[in-house]
Amino acid sequence: MTCEGCKGFFRRVIKRNVRLRCPFRKGACEITQKTRRQCQACRLRKCLDSGMKKENTHTELAIVIMSDAAVEQRRALIKRKKTEQLGTQAPEVKGLTEEQQKMILELMDAQMKTFDTTFSHFKNFRLPGVQGSDPELPKSIAVNSEEEAAKWNNISKEFCPFSLRLQGEDGTIRNYKYSADRPGKEIISLLPHMADLSTYMFKGIINFAKVISYFRELPIEDQISLLKGATFELCILRFNTMFNAETGSWECGRFSYYFEDPAGGLQQLLLKPVLKFHYMLKKLQLHNEEYVLMQAISLFSPDRPGVVQRCVVDQLQERFTMTLKAYIECKRPQPEYRFLFLKIIAMLTELRSINAQHTKRVLQIEDIHPFATPLMRELYNIMDS
């Protein structure tokens, strides 16, 4: 019997076929675990005395020394057997756990129950002024003072020219377009419809959260805090599934929403954070499962103001994040999509920034001209004056 160190030493000496001499000229050095490296000749002698043999025998005390050709032959045999084994077995793919599959199924079910992609239930909404007409705005929403006009002009610089295309029940098409001549009043004219559309989407997001069992198990105070912080973000993610990158429009059933660029170039539009976000996210060509997992990760954010059980929410967010990562590894071919998970996380970070900018803009407009619905006022913490 021999240790791995002496076995390797014996193999190297025999294969090199060298003659060793004792440097101390005694030939009887004491070889121990500490002194074995001091004299190779005496170490070899002890190996031979212990029963290690140079011959290719198979006795209990013999160590087999294979030639280089034999080693290569053995390696080729092992490689061939591995190849044959892989040919008869399907390659192992890391899949989703049973818990992760259930999480995805529950999210997909919640999405299907609460998001009508045809917008057939979006009714009784208010429309802006019709193109070509010049209706007088009520005095309550007219821009009278120079101070108000200055505020509207400042907001207009960041407000993308917005247009609406609506197909009626009888098939007729009506277009509502932004006018650059009166940006303040045009924005005011658009506010009622945008408020109704936002409220419709927000109700779907709230119902989506309520269907998720993990959300229902949280205290009501945390449910409210999470919804206040994430509703707009989930709304943007849902709208991205309706976004047509070729036309730059959101095709929502019989509605088409799009931005117009007065300069006629797309470059200016891409500078707008929201539109740029939609183009970048759409470019990833996400699966529906990846969209709903993004919504869950955004919803269960432990750093939202007012959240009490931060540890519980943080653990839930971690589970949804790992499920997204596992889904990509399982369903997306590698290495083509090896960076997709990181790109999605980066998009969620950008979405947080857009959310903060949007909230600030809504509060600015509400300060000039109150337009928010009761649900919007609750979600944005707008106090009655």
Supply the CATH classification number for the domain 4-88: 3.30.50.10
Dig out the tokens for 329 from the structure. Answer: 């590894």
pLDDT over threshold 70, residue 49: yes
Token pair recorded at residue 67: 């030639």
Query: Both tokens of residue 298?
Result: 């955004």
Per-residue pLDDT at 98 exceeds 70: yes
Give the range among 259-263, 304-308, 310-314 with minimum mean pLDDT: 259-263
* Average pLDDT of the chain, as a whole number: 81
Q: Helix (H, G, I), strand (E, B), or coil: what is residue 97?
A: coil
Give the chain's length: 385
According to CATH, where is 3.30.50.10 located in the chain? 4-88
Write down the pTM of the prediction: 0.69
Percent of the chain with pLDDT over 90: 42
Structure tokens at 248: 């730059």
Which residues are 243's β-sheet partners?
Answer: 250
pLDDT at 149: 59
N- to C-terminal Cα separation, the chain: 91
- CA-nearest of 162, 354, 329 to 261 is 162
53: DSSP letter: -
**pLDDT digits over 51-69, tens only?**
888 774 444 444 556 666 7
Tens digits of residue pLDDT in 168-190: 666 777 787 766 565 556 667 77
Structure tokens at 254: 């019989």
Q: How confident is the model at residue 90 (pLDDT cuts 50, 70, 90)?
A: very low
Residues 6+ apart with CB under 8 A from 158: 272, 361
Residues of the chain with CATH 1.10.565.10: 98-379
Q: At residue 256, what is the residue type?
A: S
- What whole-number distance in Å separates Cα of residue 111 and Cα of residue 226? 18
What is the pLDDT, as a whole number, of residue 352?
Answer: 95
74-78, 200-204, 370-374 — which one is most confidently predicted on average? 200-204
Hey, which residues does 167 pair with through a beta bridge?
173
* Stronger pLDDT, 327 or 41, i.e. the higher one: 327
Distances (CA, A) of 203 to 19, 49, 231, 243, 374: 89, 87, 9, 20, 12
Is the pLDDT at 130 greater than 60? The verdict is no
Q: Could you tell me where the DSSP H helices lie in 18-123?
A: 40-49, 68-88, 98-114
CATH class of segment(s) 98-379: mainly alpha
Q: CA 346 → CA 235, 335, 350, distances in Å?
A: 18, 19, 6
The residue with greater pLDDT, 296 or 192, is 296
Ranked by mean pLDDT, which of 26-40, 54-68, 90-104, 305-319 comes out on top? 305-319
Q: What is the mean pLDDT of residues 240-250?
A: 91
Side chain identity at 57, as an amino acid letter?
T
Q: What is the pLDDT of residues 321-344, one digit of tens each?
A: 999 999 999 999 888 898 999 999
